[in-house]
Structure 1
Amino acid sequence: MAVVGSGNSALQIGADLAATGRPVYAAFNELTPALPNNTGMWLFLKSTGLMRVPRQSWLGRRMLARPSQSSAPT
């Protein structure tokens, strides 16, 4: 079974399939930047105010300009 993508949904589906004993292969672009998705990262984002950055601010525009995992070239 092949799972394409490195987002949370794709990797969760891969983990669920692997738990049934099936071999699973994940296909993704290793160059796509990713942040860890854990409690520490969410606490950091909330405590620094990055979760509340307005889209119109220079930082908001910069964050929106970065490619997301789903739109990165393969």
Structure 2
Amino acid sequence: MGLPKRRCPNCGDTEQHFRRLHDREQVFALSQATVRVHRADLHKFRRCTREGCVRVQSYFNWRLGFDLPEEFRAPARPPV
């Protein structure tokens, strides 16, 4: 089974793959003030896997989400 595809408002409202949150992302999500993520609901949140995207949102409601800070953005790959 592959990663789920969901609507991502940060990626031009296109369908993108989302994955479960890693440890650091979970810690940030629990401390996020704008979207109150309760520990019991943490398993419902996913992160967009598109390169450069920092969107985290509920698996069930794409409107319930937030952006991770810049330090979570993957560094750009050098040209080959």
* TM-score, normalisation: structure 2: 0.26
More helix by share: 1
More strand by share: 2
Q: Which has the higher contact order (CA 8 A, sep 6+)?
A: 1
* TM-score, normalisation: structure 1: 0.27
Structure showing greater radius of gyration is 1
